[in-house]
Amino acid sequence: MKPTLLALITAALLASCAPQNEGETTTTETTTTETTTDTGTETTETTTESTDTATTEGTTDAADDAADPGADSTLTNSDDANASEEVDMAVGDGLEGTVTDFDGTAQTFTLNENDANYAVQVSADTVYEGTATSADEFFGTDRADANVAVEGDIDESTNTLNATKITLN
């Protein structure tokens, strides 16, 4: 009986040292039963192990959401923005999409991002990158349907984007 008891204790110790996945909880229960017989007292130990998997609340897939453009993930779309621009925009300070309602004379355009439209406002401090590196280059050519990434402050109540940087892809 001692070898069986030793084997059960060893198994329990090894199970407690086994690596666990994050979010899992392992519970080990040990039940000891003593039985008295004519030949003496016999001890039987039973070990039961169970693993509970916890779910993480509030996680979502990184996918664009047309109903809530602020929840979009720019890291999952197929545009030409570089990784730095993607990270900047993914944290909520920019959008990317196609240019509509382009007016080069007034230096205004609307950005269509995931079926939501944002009026883009530029200033003298707006930085231009990509294939157009100045306001004159950007607004000097009709950019209708061009792919752009626009960083800046978004006013969701008016769907306005105050541009600090515009990257023409």
Which candidate, 156, 29, 167, places its Cα nearest to that of 89? Answer: 167
Q: Are 122 and 104 in contact (CB under 8 A)?
A: no
Amino acid letter, 110: T
* Per-residue pLDDT, 27: 59
Region of poorest pLDDT, from 7-21, 63-77, 91-105 = 63-77
* Per-residue pLDDT, 94: 77
For 86, list phi and psi in degrees, rounded to 5.
-60, -45
Which candidate, 152, 128, 136, places its Cα nearest to that of 104? Answer: 136
> In terms of pLDDT, which residue wins out, 6 or 9?
9
The CATH-assigned architecture of domain 69-168 is Beta Barrel (2.40)
Domain with CATH 2.40.50 in the chain: 69-168
**Predicted confidence band at 10 (pLDDT cuts at 50, 70, 90)?**
confident
Which secondary-structure segment (H or E) carries 9?
helix 2-17
pTM of the shown model: 0.49
In the predicted model, is pLDDT for residue 75 greater than 90?
A: no
> In the chain, what percentage of residues exceed pLDDT 90?
36
Rg (CA), the chain: 31
In the predicted model, is pLDDT for residue 95 greater than 80?
A: yes
Cα(167)–Cα(157) distance, integer angstroms:
24
Which candidate, 14, 12, 5, 13, places its Cα nearest to that of 44? Answer: 5
